[in-house]
């Protein structure tokens, strides 16, 4: 297993470019984030769509060149989509956005693009929404396959709250180009069992320091147990830190990174 970090971990410092009409620069850039990850002796970075100052080829090529210089892999890109849109035209917009970021991942040389399913809107059943998501993922997979980019569906609440829902979606799509981004902090009911259920389908993983119980209580995650589960399942992909706890990531992420590097035998 390799250890990396998601740009999202430093979201309060990175500029936000989600609205191209209202870009907001931050005190960090993707470039300085990558330098920070290299300084922590990490193996790679996941670059989140929200923080790209541009998607022009020159900018993307600059990120690739910097990754090479710093000895980092770009382990993946990530997009914030929602396929659970009742309006077919809105779903089509979401599909187009995922295709756009699939192309970005391809240009970056990233093997994976993290995608979401979404929450069921009011008045719609989970079953109906799952049908929408399956069709969207199939269309996106047809676009991703020729580029060699795996779409990694995250367990991210909504209709992917439980492992059984995630696996049903993956199996219904039936494509080797649609797998799972296993988020260790997003299973709330029986996390260790559901992590074990999901990991055979995982292309990559987001690792959080804590999860929440169904009643909202925060609980630290046991990474000795989690990494042993991943090893037993033969998982050899990236553990990308996605830090969401209260402590400042400037201090918390390096400490968590050191723990993961130790547990995976990297230090």
Query: What is the reported pLDDT for 218?
Result: 94
Question: What band does 20 get if pLDDT is binned at 50, 70 and 90?
Answer: confident
Question: What band does 8 get if pLDDT is binned at 50, 70 and 90?
Answer: very high
Q: What is the mean pLDDT of the chain?
A: 97
Question: What band does 3 get if pLDDT is binned at 50, 70 and 90?
Answer: very high
How many domains does the structure of the chain reveal? 1
Section 49-76 average pLDDT: 97
The pLDDT of residue 179 is above 80: yes
Section 193-209 average pLDDT: 98
Query: What is the reported pLDDT for 70?
Result: 98
Query: What is the reported pLDDT for 18?
Result: 83
- Tokens describing residue 212: 């929440």
207 pairs with which residues across the strands?
241
The pLDDT of residue 236 is above 80: yes
The CATH code of the domain that includes 249 is 3.20.20.150
First to last CA, the chain: 13
Q: In this prediction, what percent of the chain has a pLDDT beyond 70?
A: 100
Supply the range of the domain harboring residue 137: 2-263
The pLDDT of residue 216 is above 90: no
Query: What is the reported pLDDT for 266?
Result: 82
Question: What band does 214 get if pLDDT is binned at 50, 70 and 90?
Answer: confident
């Amino acid at each position: 297993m390799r250890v990396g970090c998601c740009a999202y971990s430093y979201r309060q410092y990175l500029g936000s470019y989600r609205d191209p009409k209202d870009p907001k620069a931050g005190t960090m850039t993707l470039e300085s984030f990558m330098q920070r990850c290299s300084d922590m002796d990490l193996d790679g970075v996941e670059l989140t769509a929200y923080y790209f100052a541009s998607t022009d080829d020159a900018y993307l090529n600059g990120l690739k060149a910097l990754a090479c210089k710093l000895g980092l892999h770009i382990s993946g890109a990530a997009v914030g989509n929602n396929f659970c849109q009742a309006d077919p035209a809105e779903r089509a917009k979401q599909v187009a956005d995922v295709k756009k970021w699939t192309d970005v991942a391809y240009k970056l040389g990233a093997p994976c693009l993290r995608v979401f399913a979404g929450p069921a809107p009011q008045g719609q059943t989970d079953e109906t929404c799952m049908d929408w998501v399956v069709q969207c993922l199939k269309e996106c997979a047809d676009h991703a396959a020729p580029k060699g980019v795996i779409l990694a569906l995250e367990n991210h609440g909504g209709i992917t709250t439980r492992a059984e829902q995630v696996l049903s979606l993956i199996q219904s799509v039936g494509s080797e180009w649609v797998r799972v981004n296993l988020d260790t902090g997003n299973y709330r009911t029986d996390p260790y069992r559901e992590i074990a259920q999901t990991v055979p389908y995982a292309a990559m993983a987001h690792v959080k320091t804590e999860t929440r119980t169904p009643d909202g209580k925060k609980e630290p995650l046991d990474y000795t147990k989690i990494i042993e589960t991943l090893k037993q399942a033969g998982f050899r992909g990236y553990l990308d830190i996605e830090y969401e706890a209260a402590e400042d990531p400037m201090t918390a992420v390096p400490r968590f990174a050191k723990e993961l590097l130790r547990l995976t035998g990297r230090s």
